[in-house]
Chains A and B, each alone.
Chain A
Amino acid sequence: MAWIVKPSATMKTPGRAEPYLTADHRAQYERDILPRYADRQGALLPILHDIQHRHHCIPWQAMREVAEFLGIAPSEVLDVVSFYEEFTTEDHRRGKYTIGICQSIACEVCGHPALLDHLRARLGIEPHETTDDGRFTLLAMECLGACEGAPCALINEDRHDNLTIERLDALLDRLP
């Protein structure tokens, strides 16, 4: 929901001395990603996926570095980061485990609300929040394309179908 909140163009953002895009990353992007697209901006989503995966967010400084690398404005990078749900800014860094409960129609009529309520109680957070220890982020997601296994959830990249509170607890207990 990119249209709700956007930091102003004049905002100050944190940074660090060490770059997020190392020479190795740049070389790899040049070799594997950029040749696929007619212009450099085309590579933006694949590169952001890589950064989000490594850092559980897209750090502000990384946005500036990516902008410089692709020859686009930092605001264009922020524009994309804020639009797509999978990308998060530094102040919404995802936990070690992101648990996304599907809340769309098939899952609702097959009992997702009980799962979500259980996790709110168990983790002490609301959807789209992260536990203080940085371990869990809880999400209420829209249809995961697995309605035959409703209610279902994604835990990081793995989908689990036909969930019950007991199965969900067992899955969480087993996480390292």
Chain B
Amino acid sequence: MPVTEPVLTRRIPTAPWGDPRDRRIIGYDEYVRTGGYETLRRALTMDPSSLVQTVKESELRGRGGAGFPCGLKWTFLPPPDGNRRYLAINCDEAEPGTFKDRLLCDYDPHLVLEGIAITCWACRLDTAYFFIRGEYHHQAKIVERAIREAYEKGVFGGRGLMQACDFKVDCHMHRGAGAYICGEETGLLEAVEGRRGWPRLKPPFPAVKGLFGRPTIVNNVETLAAVVPIVDRGAAWWKSMGTASSIGAPGSYGPKLMGVSGHVNRPGVYECDLGIPLRKLVDEFAGGMRAGRRFKGAIAGGVSMGILGPDQFDAEMDFDIGRRYDVMGLGTACPTIFDDQTDMVAVARNISRFFSNESCGQCTPCREGAQWMYRLLCRIEEGDATTKDLDLLNELAGSMGIIPGTTICGLADGHNWAVRTILNKYWAEFAGRVKPSYHGLTVSAGRADGVSSARIVGATGA
């Protein structure tokens, strides 16, 4: 059964169910009037472990990029020992092409707060930090106001609404300050602790040793928002949307916010079934390709994931996409679409610049490799490189990341996949921009003096 009604966008008019021009901020009163905080109220009468069980059964997978099963992550927490336990809400959303969490913050912040409160009850956490990127000035104000309202009404702070049980949760806003790496969960923890956002080596995982050395759950904004309808309507209902895996992997259930950008007629965030073919997302939701042009490729879901090539327009947007279409994964499910006039060398150069700007500098392969790849790509773009440079680029890219085992965090894997997939899926375009590394050897035999003359024509190798 496909998504037949808006779930996360229930209060945010979104095509095809509503007109985005009707969007406005849903305050506490309106949220409650439309059934808000009822799920929390009910959850608080339930045993926390049964809530964890429900989320586990729903097979909700993290919406922040890695797609890790949410319920499973929650079970990694040690049992409460009477000391602090934290929830860190990841609203860094700095992955180029991604703008879905912003929609929830912009218009329905209480949905996220309700998800936070339920999660804190389910996992027995007492303090939540809403980590929001520094550039989201406007969104920080909206969420901050919502948090204040929630305190006043007793959702947080252990007063009023929730007096019936020992539910006492604090929720604080913590603003980032312009560093993509703080979206990585342990970089985020460092930023909350007042340090530079250098990711930590894992293990220990945050669930065991996170903020201030205490157990911490890190979840994405959209993941937490999804907890509300799951607890409200059950795991079976959630699993009626989306799709099972076609390759025997864990399924991709539920609706997903997908932000479409680039060369389409109606860029924006749409709520769709996981598994929707990209072509359908573009044609039916995003109004088709701009100016009637042809599809040339798409960033799968944030630049870290790599690219879907010209023949992959029908790729299904679910968590199997990585294995089926040679990209890293679904990521944030926010595709950026490119038309047939797009210069793919420039796309690779742009993305490489991003990663070289945002590498935190901790691991040599990432820090140096990023700069090196960026410069190589600039040279290729300017027509100043040779065929050998393409091989070098492939080799360099393939050597950096957690998967090859050379770095601490996944930023380098993102750079690796982005560059390698673009290069290999558009090899001819790259090859057409470089000079040959080697030229033929012309040997003219039989000179009068008996010495053969070998002439090397313009050897430009490396």
Contact = CB atoms under 8 A, between A and B. Distances in A.
Contact of A39 (B177, B212, B351): B212
A18 interface: no
Nearest to B214: A38
Most chain A beta-carbon contacts within 10 A, residue among B176, B196, B347, B351? B196
B162 to A, nearest CB: 20
Interface of B: 84, 93-99, 101-102, 133-138, 170, 172, 174-180, 191-197, 211-212, 214, 259-263, 267-269, 299, 303, 334, 336, 338, 342, 346-347, 350-351, 353-354, 357-358, 360-361, 367
Given A104-B350, A157-B138, A83 B211 contact: no
Contact of A1 (B197, B299, B350, B357): B357
Grouping DSSP codes into helix (H, G, I), strand (E, B) and loop, the A interface class, with mixed when no group exceeds half, is mixed
Contact of A41 (B93, B194, B259, B361): B194
A86 B177 contact: yes
Given A104-B97, A108-B346, 13 more contacts: A1-B357, A41-B194, A45-B194, A84-B196, A85-B177, A105-B350, A105-B354, A108-B347, A142-B94, A142-B358, A143-B97, A148-B267, A158-B137
Interface string A117-128: 000000000000
A142 B97 contact: no
A154 B178 CA distance: 13
Contacts of A105: 96-97, 262, 299, 303, 336, 347, 350-351, 354
A48 interface: yes
Contact of B96 (A48, A83, A85, A142): A142
Interface string A82-121: 0111110000000000001001111011100000000000
Which are the 3 A-B pairs with shortest beta-carbon distances? A44-B194, A3-B361, A85-B178
Contacts of A141: 135
Most chain B beta-carbon contacts within 10 A, residue among A44, A86, A106, A150? A106
A36 interface: yes
B99 A42 contact: no
Interface in A7-26: none
Chain A: number of interface residues, binned into ranges: 35 or more
Contacts of A149: 267
A3 B211 contact: no
Interface string A34-76: 0011110111111011000000000000000000001000001
A145 interface: yes
B259 A142 contact: no
13 contacts: A36-B172, A45-B192, A49-B134, A70-B194, A80-B195, A104-B97, A109-B338, A110-B263, A145-B93, A147-B98, A150-B262, A158-B137, A159-B138
Contact of A87 (B177, B192, B299, B336): B177
A83 B196 contact: yes
A109 B335 CA distance: 13
B354 A142 contact: yes
Contacts of A154: 135, 137
Contacts of A39: 193, 212
A45 B102 CA distance: 22
Contacts of B191: 45
Nearest to A44: B194
B193 A147 contact: no
A144 B96 CA distance: 8
A168 B214 CA distance: 47
A145 B133 contact: yes
Given A42-B193, A80-B195, A145 B99 contact: yes
A87 B222 CA distance: 28
Nearest to B347: A105
Nearest to A52: B177
B338 A45 contact: no
A84 B195 CA distance: 10
Given A87-B177, A143-B95, A147-B97, A41 B195 contact: yes
Contacts of B133: 145
B135 A147 contact: no
